[in-house]
Amino acid sequence: MNERIVTELIESFGKLFMAGIKVSIPLTLASFSAGLLIAFFVALVQIAKIPVLKFLVRVYVWIIRCTPMIVQLFIVYFGLPTVGIRFSPFVSAWIVMSLSVGAYCSETVRAAIDSVPVGQLEACYCDGLTFWQAMIHVVVPQALRTAFPPLSNSIIGLVKDTSLAYNVALVEILATAQRIASRTYDYFWLYLEAGLIYLIFCSVLTVIQRKAEEALERRR
Amino acid sequence: MFSLRNVNKRFGDNVVLNNVSLDVNQGDVVAVLGPSGSGKTTLLRCAGYLTKADSGTLTIGGRQYDMNKISGRDLREYRKRVGFVFQTFNLYGNKTALGNVTLGLRVAQKMPKEEAEKIGKALLERVGLGDRMDFYPSKLSGGQQQRVAIARALATNPEVIFFDEPTSALDPELTGEVLSVIRQLADEGRTMIVVTHEMEFARNVATRVVFMEDGEIVEENTAGEFFTNPQKERTKAFISRSSSWTGGEGKTPEQNQ
């Protein structure tokens, strides 16, 4: 490793880091928030046994879980324009990743909701609450606490999955590294650096997860 | 003022409630006794609309409700008029003692926060938990949890309170504090239906006793008569077998020790 490469890596570090801050992390947060809403919706539809919807959400989970995310990305970004529907790279990635988080996390959320004793739901009914009021005020808050560790796992996984969006022309961390390397031919060092950036972001998330779990524990 | 008429319930082929009728007067404390599987808890759950009866009607304060079918509006109104205390307390794990008592008032009754908390605090004081208002259920003993649950059932100032084996999940030394709260309510003239195995409590606090077996009411009597002068053979056998206070007669050898 000579001086030129050291200078180049220091320079590119800032660029990769900023790509993470400006693209990968916003994509992660936006996809995870939307995905979590979908996951709760899917779980509650199944628990409340809403006739037709229950069937539809099952089909959704089945399709999303049984097809590769990259294929879904290609369909949305390269496929949909042929029928006149056009999304930017960021929006395409956001749609696909939200749907993916929603499908995978719905099972986590469903199990967490099931873990709240049914007696508490009955107590809500006796207090005059409706099913949805009971879910919002009593069941879901407790389910979130139970689901927190596995959901943290999902968000960390999602940070890394955002690199797939490289394939639909989204200039995130990996694409930035790729662009620099294609000019300088230092692929080895730039990919190592890209890996380091993901390592940093995910480590920060891990620390946040631990702190949040401790805070939740204090409130029981 | 509260009555159940011709309540029927079966689970598959198993008849759990066979045409049960029960009248409760204002201020009555009715103890429902009977062996496990006699249908007493199911009767209470049907009266609380937690289990849907196959048929039956229910009257409270002059209003009649179908126990098999009820509109959402009627159910909300009915639930305001009754309270339910569970065997396993069923406190909300994400709410403090005060939060448990006030949730129904705030969410279902749409009461402003300050007003609900005023009621909640007064009720918790009454069950002797004025110093535990901000505690989460996991930080309370079983007896304390059940007293919070009683305060919660009292929040809407119900006309009738149902207790489903309120002390069965408690350590023996914690049953006293819960029973004394229930006794205090009885002294205030609350109308209550208590499914219980506590014979002593039934004898001392209940005004009336209902004995159930195989989904039917076998005997219904005043508490005094029920224990001193039971009418049915089945009830006599139950009392002598499950009581240690009947004096010499009916005691089994183990109980004599």
Confidence band (pLDDT; 50, 70, 90) for B233? confident
Low-confidence residues in chain A, pLDDT < 50: none
A127–B108 CB contact, under 8 Å: yes
Q: What is the pLDDT of residue B244?
A: 56
CA-nearest residue of chain B to A120?
B90
Q: How far is B172 from chain A (nearest CA, A)?
A: 23
Q: What is the pLDDT of residue A7?
A: 87
Half-sphere exposure of A197 (CA within 13 A, CB side): 31
A138–B104 CB contact, under 8 Å: no
pLDDT of B248 above 50: no
B79–A141 CB contact, under 8 Å: no
A128–B136 CB contact, under 8 Å: no
Q: In chain B, helix, strand, coil percent, each to 5? A: 40, 25, 35
Confidence band (pLDDT; 50, 70, 90) for B232? confident
- Decide if B143 contacts B135 (C-beta within 8 A): no
Give, in degrees to the nearest 5, the angle at Cα B137 between B132 and B138.
115
**pLDDT by residue (tens digit) across B54-93?**
999 999 988 999 999 999 899 999 999 999 999 999 999 9
Q: What is the mean pLDDT of residues B157-162?
A: 95
Residues of B in contact with A141 (CB under 8 A): 94
Residues of A in contact with B83 (CB under 8 A): 126
Q: Judge whether B90 is closer than 8 Å to chain A, CB to CB.
A: yes
A123–B84 CB contact, under 8 Å: yes
From the number of C-beta atoms within 10 Å of its C-beta (0-12, 13-18, 19+), residue A58 rates as: middle
Q: Positive or negative CA dihedral for A158, A163, A164, A166?
A: positive
- Mean residue pLDDT across chain B: 90
Q: What is the ipTM of this complex?
A: 0.89
A138–B152 CB contact, under 8 Å: no
Q: Which of B75, B90, B95 has the most A C-beta neighbours within 10 Å, making it the best mutation to test the interface with A? A: B90
Q: How far is CA B187 from CA A8, A74, B155, B254, in A?
A: 85, 74, 18, 35
Q: How far is A143 from chain B (nearest CA, A)?
A: 10
pTM here?
Answer: 0.83
**pLDDT by residue (tens digit) across B91-110?**
999 999 999 999 999 999 99
**pLDDT by residue (tens digit) across B24-49?**
999 999 999 998 889 999 999 999 99
B84–A126 CB contact, under 8 Å: yes
In the block, tokens 């009248």 appear at B23
Q: How far is B74 from chain A (nearest CA, A)?
A: 11
A138–B108 CB contact, under 8 Å: no
Q: What is the pLDDT of residue A220?
A: 65
Which residues does B172 contact at the CB level (< 8 Å), separation at least 6?
none
Q: Where are the alpha helices (DSSP H) in B167-228?
A: 172-187, 199-205, 223-228
- Closest residue by Cα to residue B144 from B154, B132, B134: B132
Backbone angles phi, psi at B19, to 5 degrees: 55, 50
Which of A126, A129, A145 lies at the smallest CB-CB distance from B48?
A126
State how far the Cα of A97 lies from the Cα of A103, in Å rounded to an integer.
Answer: 10
Q: Positive or negative CA dihedral for A149, A151, A155, A157?
A: positive
State how far the Cα of A60 lies from the Cα of B16, in Å rounded to an integer.
Answer: 41
Which of B49, B82, B94 lies at the smallest CB-CB distance from A138?
B94
B156–A129 CB contact, under 8 Å: no
- Decide if B85 contacts B167 (C-beta within 8 A): no
pLDDT of B133 above 70: yes
Residues of B in contact with A120 (CB under 8 A): 90-93
Which residues does A216 contact at the CB level (< 8 Å), separation at least 6?
A145, A148
Q: Judge whether B48 is closer than 8 Å to chain A, CB to CB.
A: yes
